[in-house]
Amino acid sequence: MLESKFDVMLYVALCGSSEMFIESPRYTERFGSIRMNQVQKVVALDSGLKSELPPHGAMGVIKIDEETIKYYEDRMAIVIPVKDEKLKLFEGVVSGVPHDCLAIVVSNSQIKKVDRFRMEGDALEQLCRFTFRQALIAHQKDPAIAKAAMEAGYDDLLGEDGLVRNGKSEAMVIGLLMAKAAGKEYVGFVDADNYFPGAVLEYVRNYAAGFSLAQSPYSMVRILWQYKPKISGGLYFRKWGRVSEITNKYLNQLMSAKTGFETEVVRTGNAGEHAMSMKLAEVLPYASGYAVEPQELVFMFEGFGGILPSKDRKVMEQGIDIFQIETRNPHLHEEKGDAHLQNMLLSAMSTIYHSPLCDEEVKKTVLAELVNQGVLQEGETPPPVHINAPLKTKKYDELVRAIRDDFDKYQVLH
Amino acid sequence: MLESKFDVMLYVALCGSSEMFIESPRYTERFGSIRMNQVQKVVALDSGLKSELPPHGAMGVIKIDEETIKYYEDRMAIVIPVKDEKLKLFEGVVSGVPHDCLAIVVSNSQIKKVDRFRMEGDALEQLCRFTFRQALIAHQKDPAIAKAAMEAGYDDLLGEDGLVRNGKSEAMVIGLLMAKAAGKEYVGFVDADNYFPGAVLEYVRNYAAGFSLAQSPYSMVRILWQYKPKISGGLYFRKWGRVSEITNKYLNQLMSAKTGFETEVVRTGNAGEHAMSMKLAEVLPYASGYAVEPQELVFMFEGFGGILPSKDRKVMEQGIDIFQIETRNPHLHEEKGDAHLQNMLLSAMSTIYHSPLCDEEVKKTVLAELVNQGVLQEGETPPPVHINAPLKTKKYDELVRAIRDDFDKYQVLH
C-alpha cells in the first residue's frame, strides 16, 4: 500500500511543484465593506505533493500552489526601510526576499563620516549581480525626491528643511511611489533588522498567499509573528507582546462600541510586516512614527466601516479584504530596547483616541489605560500624530512620473 | 530599459519556477577517491527568475532549479531523532521538512509516566492529516526492531538488555533502515530541537542542492551553520565553535600528515545536519554518541583516502563527493548546556586518535590538545568509541525486509 503512495509521490515530484499550506479563515468579521479575517496559521512551509486536497478549505486547510505564489511575487515590490542597521542583517534580509519580487531599499542611513548608505548600495549591488536581479535603492533625504514631492503638492512628506521627514512611515511612502513607478501591483514591507532570511522569505510568501485569497482588488495582509519568548530575550518580547495586546484590544473596542458586538478579531494592530494591493495603498494615509500600522486599520474603519460616511465609493463597492497570517517561523530581530515600546503604545493609542469613531466612553478607557501604563499623567491626552495624506489625493501621477524619471539613479545594476 | 526587464519577469513568473543560488565550490581537495569540496555558501534562498545565468558556475554561482530540488527531495527521507524534546519544537521541525520528503521520526522519548512518544505520534499524525502526507515514527526501544537486528546478526546495535542502545547514532541507523525499506535513495538528518522551521527547510534544500552537484552515487552533504553569536547565547556558541574548530583542525591534520600538504578544507567535522546517498550510507560505520559525525569522515579517509588499502572497490572507482554548505539562515536550537561539549570534543578526538591513519606525531598533538582543554589528564588517552558496523556487512536485506514488514505500525496515517 505504501509502495503505491511512493509511486504517486515520485510521479508528482517531477512536476516541480512546491506549494504551501495555510489554514482557511475560520471566521470573517464584517465592518461595513471591510472583511476582516481571523488569524490564519501557516501549517507547512512547503507542500510539494499535488494531492487530491480540495482547493478551498473543506478540510480547514488551503493549499496554495507555487505558480500562484510566484504570480503575486512577480507583481510585488518589497520595500525595506533601513536606518543604520548592521550590514550583515541587511544583507540577510535582502537575500531572503524571493527573487521575483522587486526589492526597494529606502535608506535613511548616515552619509557623512562613514557613508553607510554607500555601503548598503554596494552590498545590494553585489548580491544583485550574483543572483541576476534588479533592485532599487534611494536615500530618504535625496533632494530630488523632496523636490518631486513639493512640486506635486505633497508637502505632508517634507520637514522644515525642505527634505523628506525622518521616519519609517515616510520611507514607506517613498517605497510605495517607487513600486508604483516600477509598475508593481502589490507592495509589502519588511524590516531590515531581521536575523532570519528564512523568516523574510516566509513573510513574502504569506503576503502572496493572502493576496491570492482576496476577492477585492483592495486587500491587505498583516503578519502575526510566532515568537518564542524563551530564547529571544523573554522580557523584551513580553513587553512587546503587551503593547501589541493593548493596541489590539482598543482597536477591537473602537469597532465593537459601534457595532454592539464584542470582537477580538484584530490581532495585528502593530504589524510592521504587512503588505497591500497598490490600489489600497494609494487611498490610505500614513501616520508618522510608530502610529503607521494601527492608523491604517483605524483609517479603514473610519472610511469603509459603514459608520461614518465613506470617502471612496469604488472601495465601498468592492470591499476590503484583510488577512492576518501567523507565521510558522518565530521572529527574531535586533532589540531596540524598551524605550520605543512606550512610544509605540502612545502612538497607537493616539490614533484610536483621535479617531472620529472614538466615542467618549472608549476615550475614557484609552486614557485610563495610558495612565495605568505610566505613559501619560492624569489629565493629559495623547498628542495627535502627523499624518501623510493618501497619495491618490495629490498630483499623484506627476509625482510617480518624476520618480520614474530618476530610475537610472536608483537601480543598483546598470 | 527597466520596463522591458519587468516584462521578462512577468513572463517567467508564470512558469512557477523557484530555484536557489549557491556558490560553486572554489576548490576541491582530493584524498584518494574522496573529493572534498570547500565550503559553499547559499547566496539566495529563492531565485524565481529564469535568467540567462550559465548553469554551472562561470560566475562563481550555481543556480539550482526547483525541479532538481524536488527530484532529490522526492527520493529523500529526513530522519529526525527525538528524545524528550519540547513538542512545539518538534512540530516546528516537522513542519519545515519539505512535503515531498518522507519524514521518519525515531524517538527515544519516555513512555512511562507521561507518554511523550504517544504525544509525538499524535502531533505528527495531526500535521500529516492536515497536509496530506505520510510519515513514519518508531520508538528506539521497540522490541520488534531489536529482534530484527538480532536475527540479522546486527548485535552492534543492541545493549545488554537486548534492546537497541541509547544514542543518536543508533537512532540514525534505525532511520536509515526505515528509509531503505521505504525505497528512498537519499537520507538526511535533522535535529528536533531547532527553533526555526525555515532553517530546517533550508537544510533539506541544501542537501538536495549538494546531491545535484555530485558526480558519484556515493555522496554526502554536510551543513555549516551560519550563526549569530550575539543574539543566540554568545558564550555557548563560542564554546561550540571552539569544539568544532578543534575537531576540524585535527581532521585536517589527519590527512595532511599523510599527503604532506596542509589543508583547511574540513569545516564540518561535527555537522549534525548532514545527508548521504543511501549507497554511501550503507557502507559507513556509525560511531556511538557525539563521535558519529566526525567518525564518518575519519572512516572515509581510512577506507577511500588512498593511503590504507581500500575496503570497497566500487566506491574507489566511483569516488565520494563531499559537499559542505553554509546556510543563509543562522542556527538556533535549544541550549543543552556546556557539559556535552566536553564529551563532544573527547569523542571526536577519540575517533581521530584511534584511527589507523593517525601517526605518532598527530597522536601527540591530539593528546596535548585534550590535556590543554582540560578534557584529559596528563598520561591518559581517549577511550575508544563504540562503533556500529556498516549495514552492508550484515544480513542487510533481511533486516530491511523485517522492518518493512512492520510498516503498518510505523505509518502515522492509515
Grouped pLDDT means (10 residues each) for chain A, 414 residues = 28 40 85 92 68 52 86 97 92 92 97 94 91 93 97 94 96 98 98 88 94 96 76 66 92 89 92 96 94 96 91 90 91 74 93 96 96 94 94 91 96 90
Tell whether the model's pLDDT for residue B341 goes beyond 80.
Answer: yes
Q: Which helix (H) or strand (E) holds A324?
A: strand A320-330
Mean pLDDT, range B383-392, rounded to an integer: 94
* End-to-end alpha carbon distance in chain A: 56
Which chain B residues are within 8 Å of A199, Cβ to Cβ? 196, 198
Q: Residue B107 CA to chain centroid, in angstroms? A: 17
Cα A286 to Cα A171, A289, A320, distances in angstroms? 10, 9, 17
Q: Which of B132, B180, B336 is best to mutate for the A interface (most A CBs within 10 A)?
A: B132
**Three-class DSSP category at A256:** helix
Select from A336, A330, A280 the least CA-distant residue to A303.
Answer: A280
- Range with the lowest mean pLDDT among A327-341, B6-20, B216-230, B342-356? B6-20
- Are the Cβ atoms of A49 and B2 closer than 8 angstroms? no
Range from B259-268, B290-299, B310-319 that averages highest in pLDDT: B290-299
Using CA atoms, how far apart are residues B296 and B247, in angstroms rounded to an integer?
Answer: 13
3-state helix, strand, coil in chain B (%, to 5): 45, 20, 35
Q: Is A24 on the interface with B (CB under 8 A)?
A: no
Q: Which three cell numbers stand for residue A50?
A: 499535488
Q: Which three cell numbers stand for residue B108?
A: 527515544
Which chain A residues are within 8 Å of B43, Cβ to Cβ? 95, 127, 130-131
More confidently predicted of B410 and A58: B410
**Three-class DSSP category at B330:** strand
Using CA atoms, how far apart are residues A297 and A268, in angstroms rounded to an integer?
Answer: 10
Q: Which helix (H) or strand (E) holds B137?
A: strand B135-139
Phi and psi, residue A156, nearest 5°: -45, -35
Q: Out of A48, A73, A332, whose CB is closest to B98?
A: A48
Using CA atoms, how far apart are residues B394 and B374, in angstroms rounded to an integer?
Answer: 39
Mean pLDDT, range B303-310, rounded to an integer: 90
pLDDT of residue B21: 82
Give the Cβ contact number of residue A60 at 10 Å: 12
Q: Is A175 on the interface with B (CB under 8 A)?
A: no
DSSP string, B100-141: TSEEEEEE----SSS-HHHHHHHHHHHHHHHHT--EEEEETT
Across-strand partners of B219? Answer: B321
Q: Out of A49, A98, A199, whose CB is closest to B198?
A: A199
- Are the Cβ atoms of B99 and A47 closer than 8 angstroms? yes
- Residue for grid cell 530484527: B148
pLDDT of residue A48: 57
- Does residue A65 contact residue B16 with C-beta atoms inside 8 Å? yes
Tell whether the model's pLDDT for residue B232 goes beyond 90.
Answer: no
Q: Which of A1, A5, A18 is best to mutate for the B interface (most B CBs within 10 A)?
A: A18
Torsion angle, alpha carbons of B176, B178, B184, B189, to 10 = -40
pLDDT of residue A4: 33
Select from A59, A61, A58, A78 the least CA-distant residue to A19.
Answer: A61
The tens digit of pLDDT for each residue in B9-49 reads: 222 222 233 577 888 888 888 999 999 999 998 887 775 54
| Closest Cα in chain A to B135 | A2
Q: Is B57 on the interface with A (CB under 8 A)?
A: no
Mean pLDDT, range B300-327, rounded to an integer: 92
- Are the Cβ atoms of A21 and B183 closer than 8 angstroms? no
- Does residue B255 contact residue B361 with C-beta atoms inside 8 Å? no
The tens digit of pLDDT for each residue in B394-406 reads: 799 999 999 999 9
Using CA atoms, how far apart are residues B249 and A157, in angstroms rounded to an integer?
Answer: 57
Q: Where are the alpha helices (DSSP H) in B23-65?
A: none
Q: Where are the alpha helices (DSSP H) in B274-412?
A: 278-283, 292-304, 313-318, 339-353, 360-372, 396-405, 407-410
Cα B111 to Cα A139, A329, A342, B86, distances in angstroms? 59, 29, 47, 15
Using CA atoms, how far apart are residues B399 and B152, in angstroms rounded to an integer?
Answer: 6
Which chain B residues are within 8 Å of A99, Cβ to Cβ? 18-19, 44, 46-49
- Are the Cβ atoms of B328 and A92 closer than 8 angstroms? yes
pLDDT of residue B4: 32
Select from A304, A90, A287 the least CA-distant residue to A200.
Answer: A90
Tell whether the model's pLDDT for residue B331 goes beyond 80.
Answer: no
Select from A354, A189, A334, A402 the least CA-distant residue to A275.
Answer: A189
pLDDT of residue A57: 45
- Are the Cβ atoms of A100 and B13 closer than 8 angstroms? yes
Across-strand partners of B20? Answer: B64
Select from B198, B72, B214, B105 the least CA-distant residue to A9.
Answer: B72
Q: Which of B70, B104, B236 is best to mutate for the A interface (most A CBs within 10 A)?
A: B70
- Are the Cβ atoms of A48 and B60 closer than 8 angstroms? no
Select from A19, A18, A22, A17 the least CA-distant residue to A328.
Answer: A22
Q: What is the DSSP letter of B164?
A: B
pLDDT of residue A157: 95
Biggest CA–CA distance in chain A, Å, is: 73
**Three-class DSSP category at B387:** strand
